[in-house]
Structure 1
């Protein structure tokens, strides 16, 4: 008796993501493909099944009744596949941990703690992937990954590690040239991250400066590169976090102004709850949660003192 044929797996995955997001364009972003590719996958699946899964209009797509039922059944199937894969993965690779890290986190105490964790577990194969964005697909390939409060995927657990707090940073030489008036920034090169194009504008507006008046700008793929350019004396970067959170290589950067701008965003680690079935993942998450608590308990007062001394030095 021949086995029943399965629908095209790529089409099933496109349908699953589109049914969860309610949008072909959002599904395309999550899968890192074009919207047209998602539309073609779903049309192919509809042809295969002989039913319409989505009602389409010029403005939106909506699951049909049969599409909603099919999506619910597929979700259960995908979860069972994920659980079976995780069990096999855990059994075969108990001594391996795969971590995805944003470059912005790699510049901070988080990277130092990753090294410390590796030292505590010398037999653990710790694989670290550094990239500026992780998709929902990566939650299956990685045990733990960088995420922030604006990007965390539904169904993942999240541990905030760094609260976002914007402030300009530069070398002491440039800070001396700028002086204590934020308006002087319009005469200097500001260094921007393409991933966070609004951060400089938010701080400048809080300082009462029209962002358009800062015409000398340079743009980088991410904040990490902007920090490095600032260390090299190329201009003034916008820091995402307190100075005590940065690795020592960036400690020579100073804040020329006392104004910091907290925003409702944080960076941290995320993981699927099912990943905690793996002992290395559960241990890593528990250890990092404790490191975050210890870091917070010792850093707030020292950061305040450091900022005050910087302000007094440049105001003198």
Structure 2
């Protein structure tokens, strides 16, 4: 029954219908999207390829790590605005539509502390399980920069042989590149299960805050983990089906996100709504008044 009800194509169709019913959703996400584009422009900085080629591997990786601290802080702040936009969207789409809630309302005392604690702990967990993947990305970035620098120093490819110093230098980097690729693969396999089992945290947090049943971040994380049992592969398929939109966003330098962000958020909302409906049909009823039970439909 689960396979029949969790139809990803239907989820996307219903997400588009949800957007059509609430055309103001684009205005909710406009400010955080604009600030994200602006922050990306400011943080891009200068080309550091030449600088990386002058460093040892360990030194270059540490340098890249240090450069990610400030962007990570900015990204965490922007995540609050995106969550505020999501909450505003959910309120307008639910029976709570008359309640006044702007995207900056999330910074008020009754929301800020629960949201901060929950997102912070979630990010800590994901950072731990994603550390190998992240280090592999840094490693591959450094090695790729070194290979490109060597390639640019080659006067002519017509005279290259395996004994050419530049070729030898590239061959010496091959084991490191292979190690980085293997680390990335293993890191991705470690990271994905945790990423998806906590992918409902924001929507569950919304339900708990709106119903006054918030009882700590660990309870939210535990409920997300329980709800996603048996559905992680479905969420992966949904994300893969949206890959084209993410590619469009990348090549448009984030401009497409004015449409993509509301749409992908709609898909996530409908996915959770469908998940709850699926569990209700499988079990026959919801478990009432249990903190970890699927009893808080965000569209209710």
Larger radius of gyration: 1
Q: TM-score over 0.5 for the alignment?
A: no
Task: Provide TM-score, normalisation by structure 1.
Answer: 0.26
Higher strand share: 1
Higher helix proportion = 2
